[in-house]
């Protein structure tokens, strides 16, 4: 490496985050930050990309990047194969955390809480608006399972294409959405000299409490 990791550093110089700028509940602030990220972040960054962390039955944490597909007053929704590794982990421990990072805005949001499956109606509604290739892939891929090589995946896709040659693929029972029901959201705004602004929201007895954390 031409540059050591210890020397890789940038200073954060954008505006701060004060209590006066933050609403009493976190969803309004998330929507505002997300809208700014959609306008500001440039490809290949996707504003709805987030890191999802789960824990398996042995206590081993796992992380991967997914795309947020819905947000409402209940929580944050993503979709996947229920039989995948993350699906098995959420079955064993239905709690998770997600982090959004928007480097152009020097911001991140950390979210933690319980996870539940969305209804089959919600899953089917989203499945039907996916591109055809993605719908066929949901049927073809045994997600997270060991396969012999790329050739096996292409064979499974060809079989799936023949299966649905005369009909549109419907939503598989093994595929659908999860909703993270937040109990904590932290809004992080980069500041100079690593003295970042961190406003933390915690849900207690149905009421959001806001507090500032030291960087």
Catalytic residues: 194
Check whether 99 is labelled as a binding-site residue: no
Check whether 14 is labelled as a binding-site residue: no
Check whether 144 is labelled as a binding-site residue: yes
Check whether 108 is labelled as a binding-site residue: yes
Handedness of CA 132, 138, 144, 148 (dihedral sign): negative
Check whether 60 is labelled as a binding-site residue: no
Check whether 66 is labelled as a binding-site residue: yes
Other CB atoms within a 10 A radius of the CB of residue 53 amount to: 18
How many Å apart are CA 158 and CA 145, to the nearest integer? 18
Check whether 139 is labelled as a binding-site residue: no
User: For 47, how many CA atoms within 13 A lie in the half-sphere containing its CB?
Assistant: 16
How many Å apart are CA 58 and CA 130, to the nearest integer? 34
**Three-class DSSP category at 65:** strand
How many Å apart are CA 189 and CA 16, to the nearest integer? 6
Look up residue 132 and give its two tokens.
């055809």
Check whether 64 is labelled as a binding-site residue: yes
Check whether 65 is labelled as a binding-site residue: yes
Check whether 117 is labelled as a binding-site residue: no
How many Å apart are CA 105 and CA 3, to the nearest integer? 25
| Whole-Å CA distances, 88 to 9, 62, 63, 94 | 38, 12, 14, 10
Check whether 146 is labelled as a binding-site residue: no
> Which residue reads 């892939």 in tokens?
137
Check whether 31 is labelled as a binding-site residue: no
| Whole-Å CA distances, 35 to 9, 31, 139, 190, 195 | 27, 6, 33, 18, 25
Binding site listing for substrate: 9-12, 69, 126, 130, 134, 194-196
Binding site listing: 9-12, 64-69, 79-80, 86, 108, 126, 130, 134, 143-144, 188, 194-196, 198
Binding site listing for FMN: 64-69, 79-80, 86, 108, 143-144, 188, 198
């Amino acid at each position: 490496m031409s540059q050591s990791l210890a020397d890789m550093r940038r200073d954060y110089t954008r505006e701060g985050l004060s209590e006066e700028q933050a609403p009493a509940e976190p969803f309004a602030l998330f929507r505002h930050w997300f809208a700014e990220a959609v306008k500001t972040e440039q490809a290949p960054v996707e504003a709805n990309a987030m890191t999802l962390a789960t824990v398996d039955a042995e206590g081993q944490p796992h992380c991967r990047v997914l795309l947020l597909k819905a947000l409402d007053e209940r929580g944050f929704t993503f979709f996947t194969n229920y039989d995948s590794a993350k699906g098995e982990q959420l079955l064993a421990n239905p709690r998770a955390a997600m982090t959004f990072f928007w480097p152009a805005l020097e911001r991140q949001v950390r979210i933690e809480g319980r996870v539940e499956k969305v209804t089959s109606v919600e899953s089917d509604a989203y499945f039907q608006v996916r591109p055809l290739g993605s719908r066929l892939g949901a049927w073809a891929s045994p997600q997270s399972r060991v396969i012999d090589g790329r050739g096996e995946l292409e064979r499974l896709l060809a079989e799936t294409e023949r299966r649905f040659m005369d009909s549109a693929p419907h939503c598989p029972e093994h595929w659908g959405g999860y909703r993270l029901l937040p109990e904590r959201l932290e809004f992080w705004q980069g500041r100079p000299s690593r003295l970042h602004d961190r406003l933390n929201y915690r849900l207690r007895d149905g009421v959001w409490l806001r507090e500032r954390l030291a960087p």
